[in-house]
Amino acid sequence: MKKENALNVYSEIGKLKTVMLHRPGKEIENLTPDSLDRLLFDDIPYLEIAIEEHDAVAKILKDNGVEVLYLEELVAEALTSDKIKNEFVDEFIEEAQIDSDTKKSLVKELLMDIDNNLDMVLKMMEGIKKRELPEYKKTSLTDLVDSENPFIVDAMPNLYFTRDPAAFVGHGVCLNKMRNLTRQRETIFAKYILKYHPRFKDTDLPMWYDREDSTSIEGGDVLVLSDSVLAVGISERTDAGSIETLAKRIFEKHESFKKILALKIQNKRAFMHLDTVFTMVDYDKFTIHPEIEGPLTVFSLTKDVLMVK
């Protein structure tokens, strides 16, 4: 059921009211040739041009009456107490692949010493270099082997793909389990916004998917075709089991969705997400990558029946 004063997304092509963006920052500059594959980039974008292009898009949205919210600002505003801030930093560090308690303590001290919440969040996003920790010492074999990596906490350059970590579907949200380890920390930001931000914490959103679930799903594979039909890609980044879990939870809550279409696309990076090869542009019009038409299999899930087309 649609509720007033709540988050409701029942269309890919309706009038956009509010959008959440991330303005590219120093995390782009902190990509290195050695980290490109690990951080899922083919090349290092030019930050100045990325910011210029981002600001142009944001201006178009604002000029057309769209409310533009920024991920980094929402996270900072969600840290409304020292307890929440400590909880947030601890969870972030725990998932940052830091290999010793001593180093985790040094990273926490660095972050907690940043007085401004926004500056702290931006530091988390841009990555933390070993030289930023005055007490950092190479104390293990891992340190010596990894000595050429300047970072103790990797940058998060994929953050401007804001739909992947969390996608709103109907009157609920998918807080996604990201396929690649390097992107899994991204969903922590959405978790704290939804849980603690004054604007969102009391919206009573059903959780269609949770970052603690066992199989992966990413927002680029989730398309809201109408208030009764949802399409989800089975792709390089989204498992069939995740779609079954999503469908079960949606149908149990008596949402308006009557049918969930699972589209099996080729499992390769060129077709990373459903929205890269199949995009809704009007009520009855789609752009489609020609290479997916032949091998495409569509499964139709309803509350009572699973069909293959």
Same domain, 175 and 50: no
Same domain, 242 and 126: no
Can you give the pLDDT at residue 99? 83
Same domain, 228 and 144: no
CB contact at 8 A, 279 and 286: yes
CB contact at 8 A, 132 and 113: no
Same domain, 93 and 213: no
Q: Is the model's pTM score more than 0.85? A: yes
Residue 269 lies in a domain: yes
* Residue 108: its H or E element: helix 101-112
Residue 259 lies in a domain: yes
Q: What are phi and psi of 222, to 5 degrees?
A: -110, 115
Same domain, 108 and 242: no
> For residue range 292-306, what is the model confidence (pLDDT) as tens digits?
877 789 999 998 876
Task: State the CATH number of the domain containing residue 167.
Answer: 3.75.10.10
How would DSSP label each residue in 38-97?
A: TTT-SS---HHHHHHHHHHHHHHHHHTT-EEEEHHHHHHHH--SHHHHHHHHHHHHHTTT
Residue 258 lies in a domain: yes
Q: What is the dihedral of CA 251, 242, 160, 200, to 10 degrees?
A: 40
Spell out, as residue ranges, where the chain has pLDDT lower than 70: 1-6, 136-147, 306-309
For residues 126-138, one letter each, b for 16 or more C-beta atoms within 10 angstroms of the residue's C-beta and e for the rest, the string is bbbebebbeebee
Same domain, 73 and 88: yes
Range of the domain at 106: 18-158
Residue 91 lies in a domain: yes
Strand partners, 279: 287
Residue 105 lies in a domain: yes
Strand bridging mode 128-129 / 151-153: antiparallel
Neighbours of 148 (CB within 10 A): 7
Residue 141 lies in a domain: yes
Can you give the pLDDT at residue 1? 41
CB contact at 8 A, 217 and 166: no
Interatomic CA distance for residues 301 and 309, integer angstroms? 11
Same domain, 67 and 103: yes
Interatomic CA distance for residues 10 and 172, integer angstroms? 10
Task: State the CATH number of the domain containing residue 111.
Answer: 1.10.3930.10
Same domain, 87 and 23: yes
Same domain, 253 and 117: no
Residue 194 lies in a domain: no
Same domain, 151 and 168: no
End-to-end CA distance of the chain: 29
Can you give the pLDDT at residue 269? 79
Interatomic CA distance for residues 234 and 245, integer angstroms? 13
Residue 11 lies in a domain: no
Same domain, 175 and 83: no
State both tokens at 244. 């079954």
Strand partners, 263: 233, 298
How would DSSP label each residue in 219-278?
A: GGGEEE-SSSEEEEEESSS--HHHHHHHHHHHHHTT-S--EEEEEE---SGGG-SGGGTE
Same domain, 146 and 214: no
Number of domains in the chain: 2
